[in-house]
Amino acid sequence: MTRLRFAPIPASLPASVPFTGPETLERRRGAAFRARLGANENGFGPSPLAVQAMARAAAEVWKYGDPDSHDLRAALAELHGIDPGQIMLGEGIDGLLGLLVRLTVAPDEIVVTSDGAYPTFNYHVAGFGGRLHKVSYRGDAEDPDALVAAAHDAGARLAYFANPDNPMGSWHSGATILAMLDRLPAGTLLVLDEAYAEFAPEDAIPRIDPEDDRVIRMRTFSKAYGMAGARVGYAIGPRELIAGFDRIRNHFGINRTAQIGALAALQDKAWLELTRANVAAARLRIAGIAQDNGLSALPSATNFVAIDCGRDGSFARAVLSALEAQGIFARMPGVAPMDRCIRISCGPEAELAAFAEALPLALTRARTA
């Protein structure tokens, strides 16, 4: 018997990751991108106060981070008006999703999601032996009615729902989400991904008691706070569920410098408001670029805009390829009919200007391919 063998679940899975990073694409093309507009990163950057705090902390990188993330957890609890025991910190929402699936889903238990929604969640479900049931989007948005119906039909353990949504930027009202909770089966936990909540209209974010055992909510410092590389996310939920994460989490997963930077970012409310304003202006700029090229931009409550290329997925992929050839990194939804779109992150004017310059030629090349 060989020593080099995998356990049954990982042995059955492909050796792949949900995303190909821009760095990998740069290595393939042998040149850096001049506009990095594909990963929903916040190109306006983090708070200068966060940068300064992390720089000061660098000299003490020899220290382990606080495994309880006490100071950051307390600050987040104060922000949301809840108890620190109702918050769990993790390595971005991605890390927390993996922990949640491991904590709650037994092998062969059913999980429902939308076909084309955030693929990292699916990756974790497969990695821990769960079985995915998918429903279709409706009108370029996740379909709460279909998700609830699928949860009933399949006896789902988890139901994943992002509001606002990635990859389309669409959103539902908080009232719709509250109604969804009331209709879920008794055994289904709603995973409410609110990564883009800071960019959403106020009425899109429901008021939910953190002790409501029907839902766990996910937030992040990767988007509005501009700290994607630091990997800091947090979950809000009932104390009993939150305490369960301590059974399986990597207790030193959030490094000390990231904790200090996130705490400083949280305290810089003026920078957050400036970022919101910059993102709103960039959304209008991207919509204008689309219109100038005979395309239409979908309404967005996120820091990216989906642009309808007006044909099918093959055409949109050709546009994306032609943009990449000109040094523009962008992405697109992976499932029809959403894959008729390309997705452009909000970013500084210089990068949007580069996109505006490259798009006409990309469309011409795609149309003549």
Q: Which CATH architecture has domain 48-267?
A: 3-Layer(aba) Sandwich (3.40)
Render pLDDT for 316-327 as a digit per residue (tens, 0 to 9). Answer: 999 999 999 999
Residue 138 pLDDT > 70: yes
CB-count burial class (<10 Å; 0-12, 13-18, 19+) for 164: buried
Residue type, 150: A
pTM reported for the whole predicted model: 0.96
Report domain extents, the chain.
18-45+270-368, 48-267
Cα–Cα distance between 79 and 66 in angstroms, integer? 20
One-character DSSP codes across 75-131? HHHHHHTS-GGGEEEESHHHHHHHHHHHHH--TT-EEEEETTS-HHHHHHHHHTT-E
Closest-CA residue to 221 (of 66, 20, 69, 60): 69
Q: Which region holds residue 237: left if phi is over 0, alpha if psi is between -120 and 50, else beta?
A: beta
Render pLDDT for 56-106 as a digit per residue (tens, 0 to 9). Answer: 999 999 999 999 999 999 999 999 999 999 999 999 999 999 999 999 999
Cα–Cα distance between 306 and 341 in angstroms, integer? 6
pLDDT recorded at residue 18: 80
In this prediction, residues 238-257 reach a mean pLDDT of 97
Cα–Cα distance between 23 and 216 in angstroms, integer? 33
Cα–Cα distance between 329 and 56 in angstroms, integer? 33
Residue 1 pLDDT > 80: no
Assigned CATH class of 18-45+270-368: alpha beta
